Amino acid sequence: MSEFLQIIQDNRVQIFSILGSVGLFLFIVHLIQRRKLKEEHSILWLTVFAFFIIISVFRPFLDVLAKLAGIYYAPAALLLFLILGILIILIHYSIIISKLSEQNKNLIQEVALLKEKIQPGKKEDK
């Protein structure tokens, strides 16, 4: 029993990161299921969390990646990848916001043009 506790003790980082990434992955799936999140916006989230599940479960894989990046303490690489993942998602959202504001601008202009067109008492010129 104490041996088992020892294993848990030694691998806390791994256990936490597995629980965290699996939990968040399931949470995103749940949100899509309830139609609170559109599939197209969630692919990136799912990819990031899936990647995290992989590197949390297969510790050697993380070690290789950390070595490639020149990071001595492998779990620190987890943080690096987490930050990178979040940055990519943020940029993705900036793109979506820009697209939305462009569409919003076009809609506002269209409303103004149409409002003028349907004005009561407006005489047709041309």
Partner 1 sequence: MQRLCVIVPAYNEEANIEGVITSLKQVNPAWKVVVVNDGSSDKTAEVAATTGHAVVLSLPCNLGIGGGVQTGFKYANRNDFDIAIQFDGDGQHIASEIPKLIAPILEGTADVVIGSRFLSKSKEGFQSSFVRRFGIHLLGAISHCLVHQRITDSTSGFRAYNRRAIALLSQIYPVDYPEPEAIILLGKNGFRMVEIPVVMQERQGGHSSISGFKSCHYMIKVIVAMFIGSLRPPLPPKAF
Min CB(96)–partner 1 separation in Å: 17
Extract the tokens encoding 90: 């943020």
Based on CB atoms, which residue is closest to partner 1, 40 or 124?
124
Min CB(116)–partner 1 separation in Å: 5
Instruction: Give 99: exposed, middle or buried? Use CB within 10 Å, 0-12, 13-18, 19+.
Output: exposed
Q: Give which of 96, 94, 57, 92 is closest to 78, Cα–Cα.
A: 57
Min CB(99)–partner 1 separation in Å: 14
Extract the tokens encoding 16: 């936490």
Residues that bind partner 1 (CB under 8 A): 105, 108-109, 111-113, 115-116, 126
Based on CB atoms, which residue is closest to partner 1, 34 or 117?
117
Based on CB atoms, which residue is closest to partner 1, 36 or 105?
105
* Whole-angstrom distance, CA of residue 60 vs CA of residue 67: 10
